[in-house]
Each structure stands twice: as C-alpha cells, then as structure tokens.
Amino acid sequence: MAFELPTLPYAKSALGAKGMCEETLDLHHGKHHQAYVTALNGFVDKDPALQGKSLEDIVKATASAGGPVFNNAGQHWNHILFWQCLSPTGGKIPGALEKKITEDLGSVAAFKDAFKAAGISQFGSGWAWLVLAPDGKLKVTKTPNGSNPLATGEGKVLLAVDVWEHAYYLDFKNVRPNYLQNFLDVLANYEFAEAQLKAA
Ligand code: MN3
C-alpha cells in the first residue's frame, strides 16, 4: 500500500493565533510534505526490496547509506510527528512531563534553552528533538536535513520541530530563534510529548 499524507489533527487556520498561519500549513503540509510522500512512493514502486516495508523499516534500512530514499522516507516520518507536536492549545507542560524534564534537564527553562540552542545551531536545514534516550533520560538533540533519532538511534521522540526555512519563513521571516521560542512557549503540544513518554 502506498504511503499517504496524514490529515492534520486541526484546521489549517487553527494555529494562526499561535504563530503559524494557514498559508504556512497549506504549503508545508499540502506541498512540501506531500512531495516527500509522492517521491517516496515513486521509489517504492521501482524497487521491490522496499515494497511491503513499513516506513520505520525503510528509514532504518537506508539510514547508513543516506540518499534520496532515506531523505524522503525520513522527511515523511519526521513530518508525521511534527504535525502532532503542534496544537491550537499548545504551550502548557503537563505535570508528569514537567517532573521528568526537571529531573533530567534541570528545569523547564534549561530545557527550553537547550532545545532552542539545538534548533538555532542546526546549520541549514534540519530538526531539533526532545527524545527519551536509550539510558532512560531525556535528551535534546538535532539532526540535519531528513535525518532523525530513529536513524541515529538516539531514542524515542517526544517532541520535534522542523527548522527548515519552509517551516517558518512566512511567519517569522529569517528569524529562526523567534520561531523556536514561539514553538516552545505557545505552539508545542506537550500533551503529545507526555503521551509519548508514558507509552515508552
Ligand atoms: Mn518541513
């Protein structure tokens, strides 16, 4: 079965008051993410070795070699997570997640500083992540382009933010730090992050 673009879990206009306008979501979900899905399906159609594999299996199998299959599979996987990491009621960190953040990263402020720094310091396109590392501790990390913690083995993703320019240019122009601060303060779906933590 071909891979499909997931439906957004909110209206495209729902995040406008939270710093992500409808046009951003139209382009980012409807064009950019769709293009990764279309390209990935094209590769799968042509390569019997990829057919019948899950998205996770394709990402892991192509991670060390890299290349266009990995790039598009990785971006599909990353964006599926990213849409769930945004919310019209975002920004509030629930108790169990806050406790874990404080234990492992020092404080909510320290977490936000580290996450923002990861996103700012990712030169060019990529992603910043909050993961539950294999040692059971939270960790902030970043990856270039279409890579992700599934490919690097850095742990289970709790929170993902896209720092490709297409994610923020209409809303924040060139000022990536403001996009990241806004994400952390009002847009991030920490309920999703906590659910990921509890399911780990
Ligand atoms: Mn993107």
Determine, yes or no, domain membership for 131. Answer: yes
Determine, yes or no, domain membership for 129. Answer: yes
Determine, yes or no, domain membership for 188. Answer: yes
- Name the amino acid, one letter, at 49: A
Rg (CA), the chain: 16
Cα 174 to averaged position of ligand 1 atoms, centre (Å): 15
- Which contacts qualify for 52-60: CB closer than 8 Å, 24 or more apart? 55/3, 55/80, 56/150, 59/148, 59/150, 59/151, 60/150, 60/151
Cα 71 to averaged position of ligand 1 atoms, centre (Å): 12
Determine, yes or no, domain membership for 15. Answer: no
Structural domain count of the chain: 1
- Range of the structural domain that residue 32 is part of: 20-200
Cα 89 to averaged position of ligand 1 atoms, centre (Å): 21
Determine, yes or no, domain membership for 73. Answer: yes
pLDDT by residue, tens only, the chain of 200 residues:
799 999 999 999 999 999 999 999 999 999 999 999 999 999 999 999 999 999 999 999 999 999 999 999 999 999 999 999 999 999 999 999 999 999 999 999 999 999 999 999 999 999 999 999 999 999 999 999 999 999 999 999 999 999 999 999 999 999 999 999 999 999 999 999 999 999 99
- Give the whole-angstrom CA distance, residue 178 versus residue 18: 12
CATH number, domain with residue 152 = 3.55.40.20
Cα 54 to averaged position of ligand 1 atoms, centre (Å): 21
Cα 85 to averaged position of ligand 1 atoms, centre (Å): 13
Determine, yes or no, domain membership for 119. Answer: yes
Determine, yes or no, domain membership for 11. Answer: no
- 162, β-bridge pairs: 127
Whether the CB-CB separation of 97 and 190 falls below 8 Å is answered with yes
